[in-house]
Chain A
Amino acid sequence: MSRDPHQQAREWIACGSQGLADSQQTWLHIHLDQCASCRDYAQAAEQFVRSLRSVPLAADRSLVRTTQMRVRAHAQQLQQKQERLWLVRMSCILVGLSAAITTPLLWRGFEWIGESAHVSSPVWQVGFMVFWISPALAVSLIFLARGIHLTDANGTSRG
């Protein structure tokens, strides 16, 4: 062994000798039998481990209870959030589908009204665009107003 045997022995003691191969364990035992200083080191390490394990550090009952309650409340919030997201996703899919189905029908309906009323194509096409986009515009305006209202309310309550 080219390394300093004392350092090697102490490294093995520090890392815990359980993981050592049989030959290493034997070498360590022989070394400890012969070297008083490393033997003292091993005993001191053993004493330290015993002392460390005897320190009664434990969690309070109240801490555990509080944590369990917080975790449960947070789990509920996450579930509600997930449910809301699911609803939003489903709504998007349904709106997309209904738009895909109704848009061609609506287009034809506006075309027919335009021809019956003898108005030019750009006029009924603009009418169609306004009719088609107005629900989304209305919803956007409602969300915008609600967002501004909530921001104002938060600002007031913090200020």
Chain B
Amino acid sequence: MNAAACYLVNGMVSETSVIARGLRRRDPDLLDRLIEQYQHRLLRYLIYLTSNRELAEDMFQETWIRVLERGHQYDPKYEFSTWLLSIARHLTVDYLRKKKPASLDGLLDEEEGVSLDPPDLRPSALELIAQQEQSDQLSAALVGIAAEYREAIVLRFHEGLALDEIAAVTGAPLGTVKSRLYRGLNALLPRLKGAQA
């Protein structure tokens, strides 16, 4: 390993060690900072996972409560974001199972006509319309594919997680992650093409 890579790895480990120590102490300032830092990533993931902004916001809060309670279990060998997303995933899947005893695939029935509402960031009217159209098309296409494919695609292409990190978050073997990405993209691209035509 060269010096730069060694420095990067050590930097990551020391940062995760600081997080782990803070979580063990239940340091509220550290938690505030982590909530600020990971707010968008976590919420985006939950919105794509549940296809329901309200539910995603509830799960967002519950995830941080769980992080506070289970902070001592965080292993600084791993990225904090991977651990955070896997907690969010477990909570959401548990909630959905309790609500409707089915796997994530069962979500599809409830997702008809649901769109992912982006917040108003006040661009120009024309930009807004174009952005909204594109966002709606994308949301409709994403909602139309199986939830586990959607999850893998969002983690890979939106959150930029590596394949092994996706495997850690979802608890699926690496081969399954690859297959979900391939099948998901195959299911998604024709929908997007159809929507644009």
Contacts and interface: CB of A to CB of B under 8 A. Distances in A.
A15 B42 CA distance: 22
A58 B43 contact: yes
Interface stretch (A63-71, A118-126, A130-138): A63-71
Contacts of B121: 56, 58
B188 interface: yes
A16 B186 CA distance: 14
A48 B44 contact: no
The binding surface of chain A is classed by DSSP as helix
Given A64-B35, A70-B61, A57 B185 contact: no
A79 B26 contact: yes
Given A55-B138, A59-B43, A66-B61, A71 B35 contact: yes
Contacts of A48: 138, 157, 185, 188-189, 192
Contacts of A53: 157-158
A55 B118 contact: yes
Interface in A27-45: 41, 44-45
Interface residues of B, number: 45
A67 B35 contact: yes
B131 interface: yes
Contacts of A74: 65, 68-69
A16 B181 CA distance: 9
A75 B31 contact: yes
Given A41-B189, A58-B40, 14 more contacts: A14-B185, A15-B156, A16-B157, A48-B192, A55-B139, A57-B43, A59-B40, A63-B61, A74-B69, A75-B26, A75-B28, A78-B68, A78-B69, A79-B26
Interface of A: 10-11, 13-16, 19, 41, 44-45, 48-49, 51-60, 63-64, 66-68, 70-72, 74-75, 78-79
